[in-house]
Amino acid sequence: MPEPTPSPGADPACDAGRYLALCSRDARFDGQFFTGVTSTGIYCRPVCAVRTPRREHCRFFTLAAQAESAGFRPCLRCRPEVAPQALAWSVQDARSILAQQALRLLDAPQAWNGPEGLGVARLAQQLGVSDRHLRRVFEAALGVSPLRYLQTRRLLMAKHLLTDTRLPVTQVALASGFGSVRRFNAAFAAHYGLSPSQLRRTGAPGAQEGLCGSIRLGYRPPLDVAALLAFFAQRQFTGVECSDPQSGTLRRTVRLQAGPALLSGWVQARFDPARCQVLLQASESLAPALAQVIARVRAMLDLDADPAAIESVLGAHFPGRAGLRVPGAFDGFELAVRAVLGQQITVAAARTLGQRLVEHFGEPIATPWPELQRLFPAPAVLARAEGEALGQLGIVRQRQAAIVALARAVDGGQLALHPGADVAATTAALRQLPGIGDWTAQYIALRALRWPDAFPAGDVALHKALGVQGQPQPARAATALAEAWRPWRGYAVLRAWAGGGTEPAALSKQ
């Protein structure tokens, strides 16, 4: 049984607040901390429905990896793996920023592949520091090593799949990043004290529908489901995506790389606001890459956002819009093409061009729904597209060149468009491509790279919403106003767009 020693970075005042949140089962704090109970050796989410433990039996941890490193096992009832991730974006010292960047890379499922995953040496190389320095900074900031953090993420993903799906244990081991079943079984037994098959028998009821089941994904309220799904519905391509704000459901066809294999299939996400959860279903063809699917859906629906932190900065400027999220993308390349098509035209016109692109270059696919029967064109296909073929779809020459150059860069591996990518380097690389300026690069950073401080300063609709469209340099005026909204300028953009052209409260007084 773990001893009641202080948690990493323990703060009595902060812990008192955490205990109050635990007593009230406040979903706004879900994933922000975990509670280790010394009398049981279990750690739980703040929303756990079990009887609240006594204060002297509680230890509080910011990360699940910290709780597991201290000897606690995850609760089988509240399931810590379902909780949203805690994302820290506040500008701090260089060491904190380095630790945050390392977390972004380690949270990307691409880091989990193979028996050793990303590895500290490769991680340090990507961040431009020595592996020794990275370990020192990471452990000082978070209380665990990078490898321990990565191991916990893999184990919790495996627990997630064991509970919510019917995947064989071998597939669960590979999908969660373990190089072999033997290594997976050994790690599972060492950390959780039982085998994977025992967990499946003793845990919560498993999947009832299909091999991939119905996978639960938690989020922190408030979340304006209708507004989020309406955003997708206004931009959806027939055959590829179907967003229904009324039923709280989003379906779409998908393609993704899983090691050497290129997989295609479909996903369905259905919101359950009463439980602050999304129920995710995926086609069996995506089973080998379920960890990637889960991460991409979380990013697409912005399920890891922290509304309280965002509202503390933006609430006075944009009142009444705390539930708005930044719609992401399942596939960064698709989003980038959409951004190029949307340059200087209306949403409806961009949707028309995208629909033609899908019908001409997209591949057919079978799904359970007749309205979903096409994949968005792959980078390799558009990389070979002729200007004449694109021109016949109504795409002007400048955007033809941008789409082909973008497709070639992604297909050739020179450009990666996912949340773990380096934002500064990626946006700089995007601006080097023909036909892609700062507006497009910032829009891609906002939705595909999930950079919350992205700011498309040249956006005309944004100028109108902020009341700066009549000024000599509206982009500069908008940027100056947005300084007060860091590090959440991207969320401010969504709130301004949602205002229907009215000025934010704080700006109307300036």
Three-state DSSP at 257 gives strand
Burial class (CB in 10 A: 0-12, 13-18, 19+), 312: exposed
- Segment 437-465, tens digit of pLDDT: 999 999 999 999 999 999 999 999 999 99
Active-site residue, selected from the candidate residues 164, 302, 453, 459: 459
- Give residue 2's pLDDT band: very low, low, confident or very high (50, 70, 90): very low
**DSSP assignments along 289-331, one per residue:** GHHHHHHHHHHHTTTT--HHHHHHHHTTTSTT-TT------S-
Question: With 50 as the cut, is the pLDDT of residue 506 above it?
Answer: no
Span 332-451: which CATH code?
Answer: 1.10.340.30
Among the ranges given (32-36, 327-331, 502-506), the one the predictor scored with the smallest mean pLDDT: 502-506
Of 199, 209, 236, 195, residue with least CA distance to 81 = 199
Mean residue pLDDT across the chain:
90
Judge whether residue 83 has pLDDT over 60.
yes
Second-level CATH architecture of 215-314:
2-Layer Sandwich (3.30)
Instruction: Assign 215 to helix, strand or coil.
Output: strand
Averaged over 394-402, what is the pLDDT? Answer: 96
Neighbours of 272 (CB within 10 A): 13
Per-residue pLDDT tens for 338-386? Answer: 999 999 999 999 999 999 999 999 999 999 999 999 999 999 999 999 9
- As beta bridge partners, residue 257 has 262
Q: Are 503 and 466 in contact (CB under 8 A)?
A: yes
Q: Going by C-beta distance under 8 Å and a sequence separation of 6 or more, which residues neighbour residue 321? A: 314, 495, 498, 499
Residue 10 is predicted with a pLDDT of 56
Query: How confident is residue 503, by pLDDT bands cut at 50, 70 and 90?
Result: very low
The pLDDT tens digits for 197-253 are: 888 876 555 445 678 889 999 999 999 999 999 999 999 999 999 999 999 999 999
Output the CA–CA distances (angstroms, integers) from residue 5 to 10, 40, 58, 69, 347, in the order listed: 10, 15, 10, 13, 56
Query: Mean pLDDT throughout 300-304?
Result: 97
CA 13 from chain center: how many Å? Answer: 31
Domain borders along the chain are: 12-75, 94-202, 215-314, 332-451, 453-510
Dihedral class, residue 119 (left if φ above 0, else alpha if ψ from -120 to 50, else beta)? left
Residue 215's DSSP bridge partners are: 280
Q: With 50 as the cut, is the pLDDT of residue 121 above it?
A: yes
- pLDDT of residue 294 exceeding 90, the answer is yes
Burial (Cβ within 10 Å: 0-12, 13-18, ≥19) of residue 209: exposed
Out of 15, 44, 48, 331, the active site residue is 44
Q: How would residue 104 be classed by pLDDT, with cut points 50, 70 and 90? A: confident
Task: Give the C-alpha distances (Å, rounded to integers) separating 181 from 141, 170, 184, 290, 414.
Answer: 32, 6, 5, 17, 33
Q: Rounded to whole angstroms, what are the CA distances from 382 to 263, 333, 363, 413, 447? A: 18, 11, 12, 15, 21
Q: Are strands 73-74 and 42-44 parallel, antiparallel or unpaired?
A: parallel
User: Class assignment of domain 12-75?
Assistant: alpha beta
Instruction: Give the residue-averaged pLDDT of 268-272.
Output: 98
Q: Is 459 a catalytic residue?
A: yes
Whole-number pLDDT of residue 127 = 86
Select from 137, 293, 119 the least CA-distant residue to 213: 293
- Please indicate whether residue 131 is annotated as part of the active site: no
**Intrachain domains 94-202 and 332-451 with the same fold:** no
pLDDT tens digits, 139-189? 998 899 998 998 999 999 999 999 999 999 999 998 888 888 999 999 999
- Taking CA atoms, 266 is separated from 67, 171, 263, 282, in Å, by 35, 19, 10, 6
Predicted confidence (pLDDT) per residue in 399-431, tens digit: 999 999 999 999 999 999 998 888 999 999 999
Rounded Cα gap, residues 489 and 416, in angstroms: 23
Contact partners, residue 277, CB within 8 Å, separation at least 6: 82, 216, 217, 218, 219, 271
What fold is seen in the domain 94-202? Arc Repressor Mutant, subunit A (1.10.10)
- Sheet containing strand 58-61, edge to edge, reads 58-61, 34-37, 42-44, 73-74
Do residues 462 and 418 lie in contact, with contact meaning Cβ atoms separated by under 8 Å?
no
Residue 423 dihedral angles phi and psi, to the nearest 5°: -65, -50
296: how many CB neighbours lie within 10 A of its CB?
A: 22
Q: What is the mean pLDDT of residues 490-504?
A: 77
Please answer whether residues 494 and 323 qualify as being in contact, where contact means their C-beta atoms are separated by less than 8 angstroms: no
28-82 pLDDT, tens digit each: 999 999 999 999 999 999 999 999 999 999 999 999 999 999 999 999 999 999 9
